[in-house]
Amino acid sequence: MQLTLLIKKPILSLIGVVTIIGLGILPSAMAQNQDPLPEEVVNAIASKTIEKFNNSSCQDLAASMAAKKSGQGNSGQESLKDQLTARFFEMLRENPQLTEQFFSQISTPVLTKLFQCGLIPPQ
């Protein structure tokens, strides 16, 4: 399945926003183990991402995609969550195995939810 760039950007932005929620586990993991393994971080964030999509209504997802597409919600200042998200995605860029692990876990549930909500293909 090949998505157009127009569809990919809002979906990836939405995944990024949802991923921020998963990053909330990092401080507790770091407190317990000082240095969580990248695989553990990826698994935890993937689980939180899937949970967030499953628990979100179609209206919430549509609003989130619309806000990201229009650039709303970005105050111009980079928050701690933005920095953590950037670090997470940088980790994925640097390690193809982690990237495959993350996206293989989230792709089916996330895309299924977006399809069920009529968000892909856009209507």
Of 41, 47, 55, 45, the residue nearest 19 (C-alpha): 45
Whether the model pTM is above 0.85: no
pLDDT in tens, 2-39: 444 445 566 666 676 566 555 555 555 445 545 678 99
